[in-house]
Structure 1
């Protein structure tokens, strides 16, 4: 049975989709823990209500990225994960941290990578005149949003779309795509 640790910063809607799919579909895995860098992250309550261990490593308590990364890694390692899943985790992680989990850490990014890495992806896609946007699940590497791609989904950009309407439609697809991609990795059907 594979052990998954999920990192969140907010409500954790992608985490919820993964937890629900894992239980409903009977994956050969368990979500061992949900960790957040924010003590007020709403997703922690969801995890606790389902009997999933939670922990907070507040990035504001550390003087450096390296100190935060070290404390976060220690907390993660306490749950002995086979897979670390970033689900709306809004911190850039340092190279040493990423290397520690290389080949077993996933992220979802709200664009069709390699297009639009970083922030404000929906606005940038609309401003560029793209006809579609989407989401990409990828293995995390030290270069931001550039790891090996596991899965993608395209979402059309409709006339009149703004950043908010497009983001909402992409997020709906993320909730379908991310659990499928995590399951593929857990079952050995996709690797970095």
Structure 2
């Protein structure tokens, strides 16, 4: 009987060890960003509203890329929620004769587009931690050769990518496109 009891204890210890090892491997496979994604706050109502508007009006506003480039789509979607003046629109459109890369290196607000426009107007909240980015936030970003803006659909920090509702040549106007998140990405949320 003692041998059976000892054998049972050994088997039980082995099974528990196996379960602990398996659960640790599972936890190791989940990245920190996935844990943080799970713990994220609920999507704010204005974000939800912005997403509803871009889904509803995006195909009409930007039925082709020539009809409305990324900045024009963002402007027209925002205007369905908030009046924008000519300075706001100029900031979103990033109207400048200066070199964008030089401006970025100087930490100028000009190439920050929609981020700068909403912060300057007092209706935007800067999102400096990518872990805090939610669907319905807005972004202006720059690679070394081109820039783009849109409304965040999702963000995956494990792959350093984001999906945006935007107007882009590869979607022939309005669509959902996946982009790598470059160093110069400026996220903002409506207050």
TM range (shorter): under 0.3
TM-score normalised over the length of structure 2: 0.27
Q: Which has the higher helix share?
A: 2
Where relative contact order (Cα < 8 A, 6+ residues apart) is larger, the structure is 2
TM-score normalised over the length of structure 1: 0.27
Q: Greater CA radius of gyration, 1 or 2?
A: 2
